Structure formats: C-alpha cells, structure tokens
Amino acid sequence: MPQSKIPAVFEAAVDKARALTGAHIELPHDEHFSIEFILSTALSLSLLKAVLIMA
C-alpha cells in the first residue's frame, strides 16, 4: 500500500469501529484520540508504527 494512502485507511477503519461500537454502547461525545505515523528504517526496511495517544 502506498504510504500516502495509509492515513485515509486508518481514518476509515476508526470511523467504522466507532459506528460498530456505537451500535452497542453510547460513546462519550467528547471522546477522541490522535494517530501519529512514525516512519523509520531498520534493516533497510521502511517500518510504519502507529502510536495511539488516548486523550
């Protein structure tokens, strides 16, 4: 998958997870978190790490 598409894929997955969860339990209206993508190289491979910061 091209790296440029990764944020949109994560956003779609989060939106779907919220919709599925919201069908069973009420989520707080002020619930939020951020996703940070950290690109690094190790063993000459480009690695993607998603760090979820719960707020």
Residue range 7-47, pLDDT digits in tens? 898 889 989 998 999 999 998 888 877 777 766 655 334 44
31 close to 24: Cβ distance less than 8 angstroms: no
pLDDT at 47 (0 to 100):
46
52 close to 35: Cβ distance less than 8 angstroms: yes
**pTM for this structure?**
0.61
